[in-house]
Chain A
Amino acid sequence: MSRETVSFRLNGAPVTVAAAADRRLVDILRDDLALTATKAACRVGRCGSCMVLVNGEAVNSCLTMAWQLDGADVVSAEGLAAFPEADLVRSALAAEVSFQCGYCAPGFTVALTALLKSNPTPDEADIKAALEGNICRCTGYLSILRGAQAAVAALAAQQTAAE
């Protein structure tokens, strides 16, 4: 098995891992680094459970191969607390009991944190567009939408308070 090394930043710290060129980031995280907050439910980019931030944007870690990671800045669900939006998102999703089995939850949390980072005042259509790539089987999505809207409201309240 040919292995190369790839170096990137992970949750704020530099890492170097030995991995075949086509090894997926989701496997590097879950199996090589035992960072299992990133979930693997389809491994073909069709469910969003494995979402991570790469260079600040939410992408599917199962579609990201080792050779594409060189020099990237990766934040997995474990490192999300570095962003102040993540705390609001997590609190709101929890308070609204947005999830049931929760296996998709870290992916949604990553996607919503990225959304609020880029657009602090998304409307319902913006939220739905941002979450189109995250599949949830338990909830029918309505509770997730309510949680997302609560996070947006909390962010707005926080910014009003800061002004």
Chain B
Amino acid sequence: MALTILKPRTLDEAAGLLADGAQAISGGTLMQLAWLRGEAQPERLVDLGKLTRDDINEADGVVTIGAGTRLADLETSDLIARRLPLLVQAARSIAAPGVRRLGTVGGNVAGRIGCLWPALLALDARVTVFADGRETERPLLDWLALPSATILTAIRIPVPAGEIRTAYRKIGLRAAFTPSIIGAAGLLEIEDGHVRSARLAVGAGITRPQRLARSEALLTNRDLGAIDWSALRESLIDEIETTSDAYRSARYRKQAAANALVAGLGGGVAVSRRSSPRHLAPAEPIQPDESIEVSHAKLASRWGVRPDIAAKVAGTLEYLTDHRAPGMLIGRILRAGIPHANIRAIDTSAAEALPGVVAVVTAADIRGENAFGIMAADQPALCFDKVRHMSDPVAAVAAIDAETAARALSLIRVDYEPLPLVEDWEAALADGAPLVHASGNLRAEFRHERGDIEAAFARATHIVEDVYVTPRQMHGFMETEGGYIVPEADGSLTVCVGGQHGTRDRKQLSLILGLPEEKIRVVTSPTGGAFGGKDELHVQPALALLALKAGRPVRLQLDRYESVIASVKRNPMRIRMRTACDAEGRLIAQDVDVIADSGAYASLSPAVLETALEHVAGPYRIGNIRSRGRLAFTNNGICGAFRGFGANQMVFAIESQVSRLAELVGLDPVAIRRLNLRIPGEPGFFGHEVAPTERLSEMLDAASANPLWRTERGLDAEGRLVGVGMALHHQGTGLGSLPHDPGGGRLTFRADGKIEAAYGLDEMGQGVMPAIQAAVSQALGCAREDIVPVIGDTGRTPESGSTTAARGTYVIWRTARDTAPGLSLKLREAAARLLDLRANDLAIAPGGIRDARSNSGALLLRFADLAARLDLDAMPSESTDFHFPKADYTEGNSRYVFCFGAAVVRVAVDPVSGQVQVLDLDQHIAAGPIVDPAAYLGQIEGGGGQGLGFTLTEDAIMQGGAFVTRNFDTYMMPSIADAPLASRITALESLDADDPHGPRGVGEIGIGAVTPAIAAAIADATGFWPVVTPIAPEAILDALAGANHVA
């Protein structure tokens, strides 16, 4: 459907067009969001932008704002700042600066849901409107009932005279750039301590704009000192009309708005803590540890700049989804659109007949196995008998352009026989539940028991039991899944799609396509973020089938909505945990029952759950343990790998339990951990041997010494409750004792004098390339710039295993360690022949070969000159392959090499909204030597940010088998305003003398301790222990409720 923009010359003409059914548009920003939500896109839009005034002026005590005024201009207007500062606050709360430069005041108000509404109502604004050939002025609220042919031309606001007091607050889902949960504004005109008039209003988002007259009456004509704020709050809650949605309840909206108005107008916030705040601190002497701060300043001499950063900043780096070539077709995937159904028939004839469509594929086009999956091939490449979740792929099309491809998708008819929905993962396991897979809904069950658990609980002094619930977190990589595939003239296929393990992608594709692996080249790097979410195959099968059938290159990239519904998510878990200690605080019993959602297929979910269960005791000695974990199939999308890989869910539970027991015993959080810490050298959780270099005690030292414990707690200047908390954790690296976990790499001296370091690892952003440069240059003795990383391309790189599980660092370091001496010798021998010296007298140096016997460092031969004189067919090269170190344990999957960490967090809890701001997020890490400081810092800070989101704002909510969240407008990854104000990262680099395993990868260690540390800090501030993440502000308000004193 084509959109026509009508540009009338007069308001009269515009009104006529509107009366005729056309829709008004100004900046168009809200309208485009509405289209995303599925609202019909109109055929005719009337551009009001040039017809309405866009100026702001004041006359006779009234400020007039033209409807065409951009929101950004409202925000920066001197006149508004001087005369109506309340409106500046409101304007700044709308979306983000870039959007405010497009959106207009008129559009915000006319749409009825805009964030300006409460402030304008409190300011007693009026609107001028054009209808029936004339302009009239009306009260603002009249706008809600005016016919759609009316044009909003200006807002008129009387400047409040004399002394005023105002309140404004937008309650959102995160700190900034958020949809409005509710907006509240109030204005009191005061004379000699007497309230002459009061205007209170709420609105924005799903809350209808409204003045709160009954509550206003409790303020009007009262002395300020005689106001019953508590009664006002009750009245507001009673009077505000709003509604619930998947994100927040009506009850919460009312409470938060009432609190905001009362607090903003001077009534404070009633806070009664269910139990008093803790303000705990480690009692033991603070010991310094050997950690160093990881920062550019502190590690200046080791700081390297990654080779791809300049191109990334400039935008010149070509991602696989950026590739454009003439004649390349556009692919699209048809998704089920129904969460559970049998397929009766698929009719693609109309799509195939559409001009411009080059290929349509269904399961019938699959020559190999129509099944894939990293752990078990239970996922069809294209569904043929049934669909198991809303975005199961059913067919795909390749067409000459995106419009044709979209049209073709709409022409494919699939006849479904709906099946009952399996939504709740606990109910999925009940007898008689509808089956997602014929094999049953219980995809995996793990049990472990040791000691005498009943006897231990019977003699316990303290027991804490709770159910910890964790969300369906979305990876939210900025580059959505996609790329391009080229069928080559020789019958082979070049697959350029972002991924995390090219050789495995190749193997899986080979099975699906019925094409030998040698005929498939898979390029997986660079990719714009993955975090586990691009580990499993995603768009590759459909895209490969299209390219093969079309016989032409095809590109495809999921839009964000399709990525939201189709991508793997973090497995939601319900963890019932019962933990006991004796009178001194020794942990004696732990009983854990986990139920996790797998979604429609296994992917890596069984391994995720098993990893969670490996952490049921945390890093503590608990003699009596019983654990059970069950993984259920549902129709809730697909779950699987995500940074933390199950450990972070369990660490939240166990660390919270330990801290809560500490409270009962009367120990501080460090002391109880010290008392129960596993002892280095002891067997691991399953009784298996673990690698040396255990640093739990040192991480406790670091946490104990953290200066945050000595910061002021209690109320901050904004009336928020400040608390400090900590958590400890450890996380394994590598895939574990069961899976095949190969590593390897190759160094080759190139014709241009560079040393090519080839690894089948992927650059997803985490820093594979700088790590390769750092590790190889260090092992050889040359400069980082001498090393050219070649990665992520099965046509050019050897098997290095998957780029997951924080394993890349080890693979890089081990390869460098094992191959550098050999390559060094070959280079020195070659140089020795040319220089007529002995190889042993030469050394590798930055840029070339130097005399090992001299301290001058001067080069005898530059690498480029050496290369120029070597036989191109026999360039020096060294390669290696090995297995990632693993435990000798095969009864279950267990980790062998661990990282250790502690987080210390300071939070401020807002008693108005129940929202939590993380002020400080410090992480102490022990993971062996730092390979590349910037990448190390980035992994810990970045993991911290994702942990913060997991804890406070992120959940891809599903209802009825469908995602409620469709895009980043409601899926709330932290914004820069949600980032910690400060974050100090320290690293303990030492390894035990007998430790052969080198630096550990830090891709996962940065997330796990964040959630329990934030939870503990909230408990420190409020006495409330959150057990459900993301932590609901409503739960915090409830915990703070029961007013008996005013903070």
A residues bordering B, Cβ < 8 Å? 1-2, 20-22, 30-31, 34, 36-39, 41-49, 51, 54, 57-60, 63-65, 67-68, 76-78, 80, 90, 93-106, 109, 111, 128-146
Contacts and interface: CB of A to CB of B under 8 A. Distances in A.
Interface in B515-542: 526-529, 531
Given A103-B528, A132-B176, A133-B177, A37 B36 contact: no
Given A20-B2, A132-B975, A133-B177, A36 B969 contact: no
B528 A111 contact: no
A138 B941 CA distance: 9
B413 interface: no
Contacts of B781: none
B559 A43 contact: yes
Interface string B57-82: 00000000000000010000000000
A94 to B, nearest CB: 5
Interface string B11-35: 0000000000000000111001100
Nearest to B947: A140
Contact of B315 (A38, A54, A130): A38
A102 B528 contact: yes
B983 interface: yes
Given A43-B560, A60-B99, A105-B315, A94 B310 contact: yes
A138 B308 CA distance: 15
Given A130-B97, A140-B974, A42 B560 contact: yes
Q: Which of B316, B527, B528: most chain A CB closer than 10 A?
A: B528
Given A58-B98, A146-B296, A42 B967 contact: yes
13 contacts: A20-B3, A21-B5, A39-B478, A41-B560, A48-B96, A58-B97, A64-B102, A97-B934, A102-B313, A132-B975, A137-B475, A141-B974, A146-B296
A155 B468 CA distance: 49
Given A48-B96, A141-B945, 7 more contacts: A42-B560, A45-B33, A47-B968, A67-B47, A77-B315, A99-B312, A99-B313
A142 B294 CA distance: 13
Interface in B734-781: 764-767, 770
A131 B176 CA distance: 10
Contacts of A129: 92, 97
B945 A140 contact: yes
B796 to A, nearest CB: 21
Contacts of A145: 976, 979
B416 interface: no
Interface in B133-179: 176-177
A44 B969 contact: yes
A33 B47 CA distance: 26
B766 A100 contact: yes
B306 interface: yes
B313 A1 contact: no
B887 to A, nearest CB: 31
Contacts of A146: 296
Nearest to B4: A21
Given A99-B309, A139-B945, A143-B937, A44 B967 contact: yes
A118 B948 CA distance: 32
B314 interface: yes
Contacts of B476: 137
Interface string B951-992: 000000000000000011100011111011001000000000
B401 to A, nearest CB: 9
A142 B560 contact: no
Contacts of A63: 27-29, 32, 98-99, 102
Contact of B97 (A34, A64, A104, A132): A132
B384 interface: no
A109 B296 contact: no
B177 A22 contact: no
Contacts of A51: 98
Interface of chain A, main secondary structure? loop
B403 interface: yes
A90 B314 contact: yes
Contacts of B319: 36, 103
A39 B314 CA distance: 12
A90 B313 contact: yes
Contacts of B934: 97, 143
Contact of B479 (A39, A64, A95): A39
Interface string B300-333: 0000011011111111111100101000000000
A145 B296 CA distance: 13
B976 A144 contact: yes
Contacts of B41: 22
Q: Which of B99, B560, B968, B976: most chain A CB closer than 10 A?
A: B976
Interface string B482-517: 000000000000000000000000000000000000
A137 B477 contact: yes
Given A37-B315, A105-B313, A133-B96, A60 B403 contact: no
Q: Which 7 A-B pairs have the closest CB atoms?
A: A37-B315, A133-B96, A140-B945, A101-B765, A102-B312, A103-B528, A100-B765
A97 B770 CA distance: 11
B402 interface: yes
A60 to B, nearest CB: 5
A128 B977 contact: yes
Contacts of B477: 101, 103, 137
B938 interface: yes
A136 to B, nearest CB: 7
A103 B96 CA distance: 19
A80 to B, nearest CB: 8
A91 B716 CA distance: 38
Contact of B478 (A94, A135, A140): A135
Nearest to A57: B101
B528 A46 contact: no
B313 A94 contact: yes
A132 B976 contact: yes
A142 B980 contact: yes
Nearest to B479: A103
A102 B764 CA distance: 9
B8 interface: no
Nearest to B7: A67
Contacts of A2: 2, 4
A44 B765 contact: no
A16 to B, nearest CB: 17
Contacts of B937: 143
B948 A103 contact: no
A45 B29 contact: yes
B95 interface: yes
A65 B35 CA distance: 14
Nearest to B985: A142
A19 to B, nearest CB: 11
A100 B2 contact: no
Contacts of B943: 140
B480 interface: yes
Contact of B942 (A90, A93, A139): A139
A31 B478 contact: no
A34 B324 CA distance: 7
Contacts of B311: 102
Contacts of B97: 58, 111, 129-130, 132-133
B637 interface: no
A45 B317 CA distance: 23
Contacts of B4: 2, 21
Contacts of A100: 529, 765-767, 938, 942
A95 B306 CA distance: 9
A30 to B, nearest CB: 8
Contacts of A60: 98-99, 102
B176 to A, nearest CB: 5
A66 to B, nearest CB: 9
A99 to B, nearest CB: 6
Interface in B322-376: 322, 324
A67 B5 contact: yes
B315 A45 contact: no
A104 B968 CA distance: 14
